[in-house]
Amino acid sequence: MQDSDNRFNYAVAVVLSHEGGLSNNKADKGGMTNFGISANFVLENHICRTSIMAMDFVRFLTKDKAATLYKQYFWFKYNYNLLEDLQLATKIFDMAVNMGAHEAHTLLQRAINKMSYDQVLVDGVLGINTLHAANGLPETYLHEELRDMSKEFYISLVEITPSDKVFLEDWLKRAAW
């Protein structure tokens, strides 16, 4: 259990280093956000019932409580703990927090298919076949491919929604991690 806790603590520290504190940027579709936890996330996951309650929840969110939410709603929910390489698990976790789990898992599956003869279904689900394939590939190359794909994803977001350009510099730094 201790090793599992250490792995999560490392990964969530990276995510929290990429996420800021309290923000209510009108351009952010997630609404008010604190430590990367948005009011929309709080509502979607039925943590609070109303928008006002969700905004108060986010406003007074502590780093420890954010870590607890990340552990429940990301780390264990999507089985990042089953990715053997901690750097890879952390990268996918970080991507999921920022771009959404489905998109992060889709990019992982595309990266796997680009690097392997054994293809996985590109469905955005981090299932047993994707986990097995990811655990069987050289982590360094997979990590590099994910960096490139994340960068391309963020650039395409800005092309689709030019108002997101305000976030691009930070997104590209995050992709480069």
pLDDT digits (tens, 9 = 90+) for 21-32: 898 877 777 678
Residue 152 tokens read as 């391309």
Whole-prediction pTM: 0.92
In tens, the pLDDT along 90-123 reads 999 999 999 999 999 999 999 999 998 889 999 9
Residue extent(s) of CATH 1.20.141.10 domains in the chain = 83-177
Q: How far apart are CA 138 and CA 166, in angstroms?
A: 34
pLDDT at 134: 96
Q: How far apart are CA 113 and CA 153, in angstroms?
A: 17
**Which listed CATH number (1.20.141.10, 1.10.1060.10, 3.30.70.2170, 3.40.50.300) goes with 83-177?**
1.20.141.10
Position 1 confidence tier, pLDDT thresholds 50, 70, 90: very low
pLDDT at 30: 67
Element (H, E) at 38: strand 37-38
Q: How far apart are CA 131 and CA 105, in angstroms?
A: 10
